[in-house]
Amino acid sequence: MPKHFGFISTRFAGTDGVSLESAKWAEVLWHDGHISYWYSGRSDRHPSVSACIPEAYFGHPENEWINKRIWQTTTRPRMVSERIRDMADYLKSTLYRFVEMHGIDVLVSENALTIPMHIPLGIALTEFIAETGIPSIAHHHDFYWERTRFSISAVQDYLDTAFPPRLPLLAHTVINRAAQEQLSLRKGVGSMLIPNVFNFEQPPPTADEYTSDLRADIGLADDDLFILQPTRIVPRKGIEHAIKLVGMLNDPRCKLVISHDAGDEGLEYKHMLEELAREEGVDIRFISERIGEVRQLDSEGRKIYTLGDLYPHADLVTYPSTYEGFGNALLEAIYYRVPIVINRYSIFIQDIEPKGFKLAVIDGFITREVKHHVRRILDDRNYRSEMVEHNYRVARQYYSHSVLKRSLRMLLNGLTVWSS
């Protein structure tokens, strides 16, 4: 029977993993006849199917006030507890209204019961599920114990209760095996492994008229080699390895292009990368001001491109991360049939590498063998073509929408049995 799904998070907007993956879940559910509704503090979903509650956003001033007083300390004033309680009660009342208004049959928590960026929302959602017994799914992307900034807190009682909770009608899903193991160890609950996916059944769009002058727009010559780093500038992305690799290639045609900026995590790392690029003689381009969520013109009349616009023009993607919860940029590059240089981060080693992808692999540092492999990828068109086609076939087998559809059907059948 078709059901109404209510997706819950602090934000459904932009290109973060939660927003992207929840949209893929909703698309797959739609093809099975189900309808999705959205509850969040920030939203780019259509207003007719969404409830935007400002207090549910992790950046809301009240939540930021709370967060400043509960992390990196082990005790909290009574006033903080009272304000957490008041905010949780208010958010719980909005959840009741949301579920009643849209006739929600199944709740899907998107990281709201996973990472404690919004303690009151986690408490509200936990109590709502406990009070109503509504069948629910917790889609976990990254747990608090995976982030050092949450290691010291004055809210361990709330973390034990709600991040995530143990409730009879709450099914848990995780995106990697390490999270599955830790959830079982720490919380004593089982979970289904549902990795991030991409629509490999639908061929990627090709370069069109809008992007015909993209390379020139970002300052590349016709014979330049476009090496794309499609990530934010944060230390765990390991961008220094990409700079070192391009420096070792010693080819003036190689241009390292970084798509995103540092955001709110500081500029120290970016300044270090700029200095390293000068030392290595690497031509590095920061183009975040030309990348947006949709195609448009900026205030100066320049084209704004999406991240998807970049891939068809790239000759190589670098992905030298030291840690990833999964690796969306890896799937994106495979989808657009671009060869990849990747560092063997832990989740890649455990979950992705055994699938048999053909990649240029870094094991912590750049070797001459890696340099020679990359040079062959760039110079040998037939070798490159065979590599990307093989990767596309493997990804379609393990990380496509059809894989997600089977998993969600199994999950929904289980919830139906539990609630009957």
The verdict on 143 and 223 lying in the same domain is: no
- For residue 366, the enclosing domain spans 214-398
CATH number of the domain residue 142 falls in: 3.40.50.2000
How much is the pLDDT for 418? 58
Q: What is the pLDDT of residues 291-336, one digit of tens each?
A: 998 899 999 999 999 999 999 999 999 999 999 988 889 999 999 9
Residue 265's pLDDT is what? 66
Residues 171 and 238 both lie in one domain: no
Answer yes or no: do 174 and 301 share one domain.
no
The answer to whether the pTM exceeds 0.85 is yes
Q: Average pLDDT over the chain, rounded to whole? A: 95
* Sequential pLDDT tens for the chain (420 residues): 889 999 999 999 987 889 999 999 999 999 999 999 999 999 999 999 999 999 999 999 999 999 999 999 999 999 999 999 999 999 999 999 999 999 999 999 999 999 999 999 999 999 999 999 999 999 999 999 998 889 999 999 999 999 999 998 899 999 999 999 999 999 999 999 999 999 999 999 887 999 999 999 999 999 999 999 999 999 999 999 999 999 999 999 999 999 999 866 678 999 999 999 999 999 999 999 999 988 999 999 999 999 999 999 999 999 999 999 888 899 999 999 999 999 999 999 999 999 999 999 999 999 999 999 999 999 999 999 999 999 999 999 999 999 999 999 999 988 865 555
pLDDT score for 414: 85
pLDDT, one tens digit per residue, over 187-226 is 999 999 999 999 999 999 887 999 999 999 999 999 999 9
Q: Is residue 172 part of a domain?
A: yes
Q: Are residue 273 and residue 349 in the same domain, yes or no?
A: yes
Give how far Cα 168 sits from Cα of 50, 121, 157, 172, 418, Å: 27, 20, 20, 11, 8
Q: Would residue 291 count as lying in a domain?
A: yes
Same domain, 289 and 390: yes
Q: Are residue 277 and residue 302 in the same domain, yes or no?
A: yes
- End-to-end Cα, the chain, rounded Å: 14
295 and 241 part of one domain: yes
Residues 302 and 384 in one domain: yes
Classify residue 208: in a domain, yes or no: no
> Do 375 and 330 fall into the same domain?
yes
Whether residue 300 lies inside any domain: the answer is yes
